[in-house]
Amino acid sequence: MHYEILKFSVKGDHSGSLVALEKGADFPFEINRVYYIWGTEKNIVRGRHAHKKLEQVVVCTAGSCDFILDNGAQKETIHLSSPSEGLHIKQNVWREFTNFSTDCVVMVLASEHYNETDYIRDYDEFLKGK
């Protein structure tokens, strides 16, 4: 499978909820970068690329959006709407994301520093590498 859904352990009581993500048992790789995205209009399509080496865990910390993942043979749409789960996208998966709610905040935990040479932005090139 080219992705998996991680279910995080939630500490919660009357004061609210908390998720802690630590390297090791809780998390599939060492985190080298965190970024987050918000203020994207509903019908905008972001992404449209794959990564050679980078793995990421995507968490919709507020609101919701859809990730469309394509491994070259099949496509799946994953609706993210909970801060208690993460979408682990492995290497060499074409991703697009769209259908943003107005309050959507997407936090991404990445295995590598930002590196434009890791991106495959041409779909035909992506398919050739399969």
CA 12 to chain centre: 24
Decide if 110 contacts 33 (C-beta within 8 A).
yes
- What distance in Å separates the CA atoms of residue 90 and residue 57, rounded to the nearest whole number? 9
49 catalytically annotated: yes
Instruction: Point out the catalytic residue in the list 49, 51, 79, 113.
Output: 49
- Lay out the site mask for ligand T46 across 41-60 (x = CB under 6 A, - = otherwise): -----xx--------x-x--
Hey, which residues does 110 pair with through a beta bridge?
33, 56
Site for ligand T46 in 80-109 (CB under 6 A): 95, 108
Of 9, 42, 77, 114, which one interacts with ligand T46 (CB under 6 A)? 114
Least Cβ distance, residue 65 to ligand T46 (angstroms): 10
Nearer to ligand T46, 5 or 35 (CB): 35
Q: Which of 84, 43, 77 lies closest to 62, judged by CA?
A: 84
**What are the start-end ranges of the H helices in the chain?**
123-128
- If the CB atoms of residues 62 and 108 are measured against ligand T46, the closer one turns out to be 108
Tokens 């043979």 correspond to 73
Binding site for ligand T46 (CB under 6 A): 33, 35, 37, 46-47, 56, 58, 95, 108, 114
